[in-house]
Structure 1
Amino acid sequence: MNTPIIDPLQGDFPEVIEEYLEHGCMKCIAFNRRGTLLAAGCNDGSCVVWDFETRGIAKELRDNECSSPITSVCWSKCGNRILVSAADKSLSLWDVMSGKRITRIVLQQTSLQARLHPGSSMPYLCLACPLSCAPMIVDLNTGNTTSLKVSVSDISSGPNLPSRSKCSDGITSFTPTAACFSKYGSLVYVGNSKGEILLIDHKDGELRAMVPISGGSVVKNIVFSRNGQYLLTNSNDRVIRIYENLLPLKDEVRVLDDLNKSFNDLDGVEKLKAVGTKCLTLFREFQDSITKVHWKAPCFSGDGEWVVGGSASKGEHKIYIWDRAGHLVKILEGPKEALIDLAWHPVRPIVVSVSLNGIVYIWAKDYTENWSAFAPDFKELEENEEYVEREDEFDLIPETEKVKGSDVNEDEEVDIVTTEKDPAFSDSDMSQEELCFLPATPSRDVPEQDKCVESSSKLVDSNNTGSPLSEEAGPNGLVANQASSPVEDDAGGARVKRKRKPSEKVLELQAEKIKRPSKPSKSSKPKSKSLVDQDNSNGFDGVELTDE
């Protein structure tokens, strides 16, 4: 949809289910950077790439070594690679164009989420968030892993497991830790079980700053907006919080070093908190104060103007949409199926959700025509008015235009080669071409003639192999009664002849001819034998004519 002609009064957010995608049992989804391809991880260990424009399957990535459910999928920045994490503790990197697996690494724990480094077009580093241990940086080339700190106490003791608590049965349980890269991947933002946001340099693993979250609840999700200006956290206290990023996007580490030097009079946790106040500031909080529902897979819209979150309640498929000011603008209600994953299209007002049954629903805007808002020269009339024609209305050059001078420089060359960059992707600094579409591989259709030849040859073969079409056969195996065997082979089964029986109309005409025989004329001559045979071949040989 062309953005300039959208009615601003309608709101640029989805409203109804436009279509649904079905292929096996899908569990998680992710758009590529342009929003032209949609990757979906399935329950059987495969990854399906949908062409989002045609809503057809463009590629299916299947690994014979993996048959476990997919837990997350992630595109590289250029769109040529897909990282897939599965429940069998594996991480697989795929080449999308060729459909071949580049590498596969098996970790010690199952990764609930895995994200490629966003700073390069061909990344070899990824961030993995395992089920019961600290987030780690994984080198996909060598398989080396580096665990990250998950609490302030890890500064002296080194990286360890997330906070653990004993259940009623005495078994120690671990709280999964959420983490994500910054926009260009220089920092890793970790949300721990103590209600803290930790800023860690992924190269040396050093903890640079800490931001406490009000309430101190477990952080379940942490997501950056597309432009890197806002950070979203989803806590166990059923509140979605939006933080404004105060750090520059491309020089975060240097600014953090300067901040640490400016707070040399403080030490330990106080110093990290002081630096954290210069990194993130609370912008808005979202919650349902009536139902107090838990949130599933919250995220930003492509332009960061909207915040969306799915209800984690079982048996309902509800999606809540807020504007960035904190107002609830829409609640989308789908089928009676639980929601397990959610994604907003990068550039269009489209939300894609995944149900527990493995069906992907596409939510789009229900556009209504309002020409008074679209066309600037359109006037909406409340009642009929008599139109008065102008004197020069149908002139080739109206008088009003003769008076006005043309502001266009006709001698200026028009550039029809250079294309303007989309402002949504103006931050692209990659020299390599992005993969936006996959080439179609059409399947060959079987011609109708080949189908007829195949069916007739099968029918003739069944006659020769003992599937009798006649009741009587001669001593040499030939059919004795032709009327009982209407199918005969001609030119190797390429043509099929059938013996025709005379119709009732022909029998009536022949009966009338017998009752009223015509007198032969003097000039008439008896038919030759060839003409008689011709009549017999036209279907009259099976009728015997007798005079009563």
Structure 2
Amino acid sequence: MMDAPIIDPLQGVFPEIIEEYLESGIMKCIAFNRRGTLLAAGCADGTCIIWDFGTRGIAREFKDDDSVASITSVCWSKYGHRILVSAADKSLSLWDVVRGEKITRITLQQTPLQARLYPRSTTPSICLVCPLSSAPMIVDLETGSMTVLPVLPTEGGNGVAPPSKNKFSDGSAPFTPTSACFNKYGDLVYVGNSKGEILIVDHRSVQVRGIVLVPGNAVIKNIVFSRNGQYLLINSTDRTIRIYENLLPVNNALTGLDEATNDLNDLEGVEKLKAVGALCLTLFREFQDSVTRVHWKAPCFSGDGEWVVGGSANKGEHKIYIWDRAGHLVKILEGPKEAIVDLAWHPVNPVVVSVSLSGLVYIWAKDFTENWSAFAPDFKELEENEEYVEREDEFDLNPEIEKVKGSDVNEDEDVDIDGLENDSTFSDSDLSGDEICFLPADPIPDAPEQQDKCVGSSSKLGESNQSGSPLSVEAGQNGQVNHESSPFEGEDTGTTGLKRRRKPSEKVLEQQAEKVKKPPQKMKQSGKPQN
């Protein structure tokens, strides 16, 4: 609850300030790759930009000449080889990230608000699409086939929506925009409809296998799974974010669903679907602002699933709320007076990235304070004075010193330097050798106008040197070149045969002045005749 006391922020590391912002066109949506090393952003002009999140530079730009419409969503494949882009011109484009080439492009009958690739395959061609005003569908990008998923249960329990008089040409009934998502391994699709129901759908057989009733019966706007697949987030129009715990096995969800269905053979129809749904999901926590009753925008989980983040949907404010799974509010981030369009939490680090209405991407990070103090290893820095209590044997000649505990590491065991240790952040697998984490950035040459300016400035510099500027070369009394009039030494000025000299230090100037004041010593003449 929003009126609950804010817990101690020292219990976790959370973003605090805007560390940096990214600017390139008008960006509308963002998505991290699996490791958080690359950030994809879709722009209003139809361009998809890949940012190197480490250097904050642009690594790739995907531009479809056939599409200039605004991008509505971007989605990475599991290991980053492909990226799916949906646009407002009803198109879906699949890109090869490394080569920067477009693999395929298809056009739908409705504008896709969101598109997600099948999570199990490394190079998928199957995706889940949520159109603007029709039911979600499974689209095969290779063949172009489309399978409309049900959004309403029937009394017969076959999962096919009842016939309607007003239908689109693809046979789907008109509904308000509905949200849907794959589970962790893509066995099932969870669909949120306009009646406040979560439908568990087997997308292969196109059947509703379970129904979960959401309190309030409000329209479900967002539905997102946590990375580990154990929790499901629901954002409804009743201004409440709800967290459900997944009771099905994460790895074999469809098998667990079949077992739950077999145990309920005495029930039929919708009652059986509701009973199965109760065995699949259970309400875990609710988040809402009981004071301002704000709507939420783009809520999501943190990378480890321990925190929930949501943006305010009010116009003219850039507020981000962070809760723990227990329901305590831990942080409120306030940015510029611009509405939030999209939001994402970094998969590994405590970093939040938000997109503003103006098209800028803000990076929120922890405000770390550097401490350059150097202490002995056994020295403890105190923030305030404390009364010191000495030990009983502290000043004895032979104090009893605690023995150092022996290490449990077997020193005779061979050290594995070839294997990779599983990363606890990623619950499904370790680092893949085929995974794309970084992309080589292409150097951007200077504009021709800037190059002309540089050439013009160097030519003017040479002319000024010929006219007797402070950088010009003067002839000395002995016919030697005198460089003392130049304030720089040893630097190339860009002109032929002329170098800038660095200005001598004060000590060198003093030594030169002493040599001038001191008369030269005469050589004593010897009696020997000179040659």
Give me the TM-score of the superposition, normalised by structure 1.
0.73
Q: Find the counterpart in structure 1 of residue 273 from structure 2.
A: 272
The 1:458–1:269 alpha-carbon spacing in structure 2 relative to 1, beyond 3 Å, is same
Asked if structure 1 preserves the Cα contact closer than 8 Å seen for 2:228 and 2:427, the reply is no
**Cα-to-partner distance string for 1:133-186 (whole Å, 9 max, x where unaligned):** 00000001001000000011385683479999xxxxxxx984101000000000
Show the 5 A alignment for 1:397-546: 411-428=412-429, 433-443=434-444, 455=456, 498=466
Asked if structure 2 preserves the Cα contact closer than 8 Å seen for 1:162 and 1:174, the reply is no
Q: 1:348 and 2:346 equivalent?
A: no
Asked if structure 2 preserves the Cα contact closer than 8 Å seen for 1:194 and 1:217, the reply is yes
Structure 1 residue 443: Cα displacement: 4.4
Amino acid at match of 2:16: E
Q: What is the distance in 2 between the residues matched to 1:432 and 1:406? A: 33
Structure 1 residue 62: Cα displacement: 0.6
Structure 1 residue 12: Cα displacement: 2.1
Q: Matched residue of 1:255: which SS?
A: helix
Q: Find the counterpart in structure 2 of residue 524 from structure 1.
A: none
The 1:102–1:213 alpha-carbon spacing in structure 2 relative to 1, beyond 3 Å, is same
Q: Find the counterpart in structure 1 of residue 286 from structure 2.
A: 285
The 1:403–1:95 alpha-carbon spacing in structure 2 relative to 1, beyond 3 Å, is closer
Q: Find the counterpart in structure 2 of residue 140 from structure 1.
A: 141
**Cα-to-partner distance string for 1:444-474 (whole Å, 9 max, x where unaligned):** 679xxx9799659999xxxxxxxxxxxxxxx
Percent identity between the aligned chains? Answer: 68
Q: Find the counterpart in structure 2 of residue 81 from structure 1.
A: 82
Q: Matched residue of 1:93: which SS?
A: strand
Q: Find the counterpart in structure 1 of residue 360 from structure 2.
A: 359
Q: Find the counterpart in structure 2 of residue 314 from structure 1.
A: 315
Q: Find the counterpart in structure 2 of residue 180 from structure 1.
A: 181
Show the 5 A alignment for 1:29-40: 29-40=30-41
Q: Matched residue of 2:425: which SS?
A: helix
Aligned residues: 444
Q: Find the counterpart in structure 1 of residue 95 from structure 2.
A: 94
Q: What is the distance in 2 between the residues matched to 1:376 and 1:233? A: 49
Q: Find the counterpart in structure 2 of residue 473 from structure 1.
A: none
Q: What is the distance in 1 between the residues matched to 2:265 and 2:445? A: 72
Q: Find the counterpart in structure 1 of residue 480 from structure 2.
A: none
Amino acid at match of 1:125: I
Q: Matched residue of 2:46: which SS?
A: coil
The 1:355–1:375 alpha-carbon spacing in structure 2 relative to 1, beyond 3 Å, is farther
Structure 1 residue 13: Cα displacement: 1.6
Amino acid at match of 1:181: F
Structure 1 residue 352: Cα displacement: 0.3
Q: What is the distance in 2 between the residues matched to 1:371 and 1:383? A: 21
Q: 1:323 and 2:362 equivalent?
A: no
Show the 5 A alignment for 1:17-28: 17-28=18-29
Structure 1 residue 428: Cα displacement: 2.0
Q: What is the distance in 2 between the residues matched to 1:281 and 1:107? A: 35
**Cα-to-partner distance string for 1:51-85 (whole Å, 9 max, x where unaligned):** 00011111101110110000000000011110000
**Cα-to-partner distance string for 1:182-231 (whole Å, 9 max, x where unaligned):** 00000000000000000001111111000001110000000000100000
Structure 1 residue 408: Cα displacement: 6.4
Could you say which structure has the higher helix fraction? 1
Structure 1 residue 11: Cα displacement: 2.0
Asked if structure 2 preserves the Cα contact closer than 8 Å seen for 1:209 and 1:272, the reply is yes
Structure 1 residue 312: Cα displacement: 0.5
Give the 4+ runs in structure 1 shifted more than 6 A. 160-164, 369-372, 399-408, 450-453, 456-459
Asked if structure 1 preserves the Cα contact closer than 8 Å seen for 2:136 and 2:149, the reply is yes
Q: What is the distance in 2 between the residues matched to 1:229 and 1:375? A: 45
Asked if structure 1 preserves the Cα contact closer than 8 Å seen for 2:135 and 2:178, the reply is yes
Q: What is the distance in 1 between the residues matched to 2:126 and 2:265? A: 33
Q: Find the counterpart in structure 2 of residue 195 from structure 1.
A: 196
Q: Work out which of the two has the higher radius of gyration on C-alpha atoms and give 1 or 2.
A: 1
Q: Find the counterpart in structure 2 of residue 16 from structure 1.
A: 17
**Cα-to-partner distance string for 1:239-282 (whole Å, 9 max, x where unaligned):** 00000000001211122222222111111110000011100000
Q: What is the distance in 2 between the residues matched to 1:407 and 1:194? A: 58
Q: Find the counterpart in structure 1 of residue 218 from structure 2.
A: 217
Asked if structure 2 preserves the Cα contact closer than 8 Å seen for 1:14 and 1:350, the reply is yes
Q: Find the counterpart in structure 2 of residue 158 from structure 1.
A: 160
Q: What is the distance in 1 between the residues matched to 2:144 and 2:214? A: 34
Q: Find the counterpart in structure 1 of residue 251 from structure 2.
A: 250
Amino acid at match of 1:343: A
Q: Find the counterpart in structure 1 of residue 491 from structure 2.
A: none
**Cα-to-partner distance string for 1:301-320 (whole Å, 9 max, x where unaligned):** 01111111100001111111
**Cα-to-partner distance string for 1:395-422 (whole Å, 9 max, x where unaligned):** xxxx979998887665543333333221
Q: What is the distance in 2 between the residues matched to 1:380 and 1:456? A: 56
Q: What is the distance in 2 between the residues matched to 1:329 and 1:306? A: 9
Q: What is the distance in 1 between the residues matched to 2:53 and 2:209? A: 40
> Cα RMSD (Å) of the superposition?
3.7
**Relative contact order, CA 8 A, sep 6+: which one is greater?**
2
Q: Matched residue of 1:91: which SS?
A: strand
Amino acid at match of 1:136: M
Q: Find the counterpart in structure 2 of residue 334 from structure 1.
A: 335
Q: What is the distance in 2 between the residues matched to 1:376 and 1:8? A: 28
Structure 1 residue 233: Cα displacement: 0.2
Structure 1 residue 377: Cα displacement: 5.1
Asked if structure 2 preserves the Cα contact closer than 8 Å seen for 1:80 and 1:435, the reply is yes
Q: What is the distance in 2 between the residues matched to 1:107 and 1:415? A: 52
Q: Find the counterpart in structure 1 of residue 59 from structure 2.
A: 58
Range 110-119 or range 436-445, more displaced: 436-445
Amino acid at match of 2:336: P
Structure 1 residue 98: Cα displacement: 0.8
Asked if structure 2 preserves the Cα contact closer than 8 Å seen for 1:88 and 1:110, the reply is yes
Asked if structure 2 preserves the Cα contact closer than 8 Å seen for 1:134 and 1:161, the reply is no
Asked if structure 2 preserves the Cα contact closer than 8 Å seen for 1:163 and 1:174, the reply is no
Structure 1 residue 430: Cα displacement: 8.5
Q: Matched residue of 1:82: which SS?
A: strand
Amino acid at match of 1:360: V
The 1:452–1:327 alpha-carbon spacing in structure 2 relative to 1, beyond 3 Å, is closer
Q: What is the distance in 1 between the residues matched to 2:442 and 2:308? A: 38
Structure 1 residue 125: Cα displacement: 0.3
The 1:400–1:314 alpha-carbon spacing in structure 2 relative to 1, beyond 3 Å, is same
Q: What is the distance in 2 between the residues matched to 1:405 and 1:60? A: 55
Q: Matched residue of 1:281: which SS?
A: strand
Asked if structure 2 preserves the Cα contact closer than 8 Å seen for 1:33 and 1:346, the reply is yes
Structure 1 residue 360: Cα displacement: 0.3
The 1:158–1:406 alpha-carbon spacing in structure 2 relative to 1, beyond 3 Å, is closer
Q: Find the counterpart in structure 1 of residue 109 from structure 2.
A: 108
The 1:408–1:268 alpha-carbon spacing in structure 2 relative to 1, beyond 3 Å, is closer
Q: Matched residue of 2:28: which SS?
A: strand
Asked if structure 2 preserves the Cα contact closer than 8 Å seen for 1:129 and 1:176, the reply is yes
Q: What is the distance in 1 between the residues matched to 2:370 and 2:11? A: 11
Gaps in structure 1 of 5+ consecutive residues: 1-6, 165-171, 389-398, 460-485, 488-495, 510-548
Q: Find the counterpart in structure 1 of residue 511 from structure 2.
A: none
Q: What is the distance in 2 between the residues matched to 1:125 and 1:177? A: 19
Asked if structure 2 preserves the Cα contact closer than 8 Å seen for 1:87 and 1:111, the reply is yes
